[in-house]
Amino acid sequence: MLRALVETGKTTVAAQRLGLSQSAVSRALAELEAALGRQLFDRVGGRLVPNSDALAVNDELGPIFAALARIVDRSTAGSGSHTGALRIAAPPTIAHRFLPPIVARFTKANPQLEIVFEVLSSDVLVTNIAEDRHDIGLTDTAVTHDSVRSDLLVATEAICALPSRHPLAEREVIRPQDLEGQPFVALTRRHSGRTQIDRFFDRVGVRRHLVIETATAVSAAEFVREGLGVALLNPFPIVHQLGSGIVVRPFEPGIPHRTCFLSPASRPLSLAAADFMAMVRKSLT
């Protein structure tokens, strides 16, 4: 009961998950708080917000629930172990080029779990995670939001994408000075990767000739293929999907990228979200 309340924040939703009446859940919570001699939840705007005591007790119960989940997994192999709902969000490049087969596999493994998969811009995704509208997100946007928990999936460094017949394609490594005055395909300014790259070139004193700005790494790669210019891109997840007409070269000094899972900091991960994260990680091994 405690875990259901921590994860949902509402007695009505927790009751539905547990197959109990709302009054039974409320009564059980009151009895638990009385037995412990402390309040576990703050009532804010119609929601139950777990305080530090509730989170501590929930953390102590984590190993028990994990063991029970493994037992259930073994006894229901092939029928799926999760019920309820899992809300997943990702920006376009990750959503279209990386996640679909993993989401499909997770859905097939959990037929009783309702999965909502949304494609959002990274800034909207971060806001939605902070406001608990999604259970898990995946993005390469730098996040410094107190209401968002961040867990690293993969760390990479920018690559230089060039039209296959570009003179620089003959070089094994591209350096900042090589791009002086070069036609350049840039991500839009709202993208954290764009800010990082602009600051880098300002610092080294190299001027590029920006010919177009675009919202995604996929569209940037297509403009490179069309010969509009070169681009610096996060290789994850598109580096092996670029096809003909484009070559990629290492860029030095490295410009780091971090692709991370995001989840609401206000509550622990659900078991379904944790298992989905594990499946995503396993896909990279």
- Domains within the chain, CATH numbers bracketed: 1-75 (1.10.10.10), 81-155+257-285 (3.40.190.10), 159-254 (3.40.190.290)
pLDDT tens digits for range 50-95: 787 777 766 666 555 555 555 545 444 444 579 999 999 999 999 9
Is the separation of the CB atoms in 66 and 59 below 8 Å? no
Query: 223 or 41, which is more confident?
Result: 223
pLDDT for residue 41 is more than 80: no
Is the separation of the CB atoms in 118 and 91 below 8 Å? no
DSSP 215: S
Which has the closest alpha carbon to 236: 36, 97, 28, 130?
97
Amino acid at 167: P
pLDDT tens digits for range 241-269: 898 999 999 999 999 999 999 999 999 99
Q: Taking residues 203-217, what's their average pLDDT?
A: 95
Whole-angstrom distance between the N-terminal and C-terminal Cα of the chain?
36
Hey, which bits of 215-284 come out as E strands? 231-233, 246-250, 256-264
Query: 75 or 102, which is more confident?
Result: 102
User: Please, which pLDDT band fits residue 2 given cuts at 50, 70 and 90?
Assistant: low
- Give the whole-angstrom CA distance, residue 106 versus residue 127: 25
pLDDT for residue 182 is more than 60: yes
Mean pLDDT of the chain, nearest integer? 86
pLDDT tens digits for range 9-18: 777 766 666 6
- Return the structure tokens found at 191: 């993208």
Query: 166 or 192, which is more confident?
Result: 166
pLDDT for residue 101 is more than 60: yes
Q: Taking residues 159-170, what's their average pLDDT?
A: 96
Burial class from Cβ neighbours inside 10 Å (0-12, 13-18, 19+) for residue 233 reads buried
Which has the closest alpha carbon to 264: 151, 141, 134?
134
pLDDT at 240: 87
DSSP 174: B
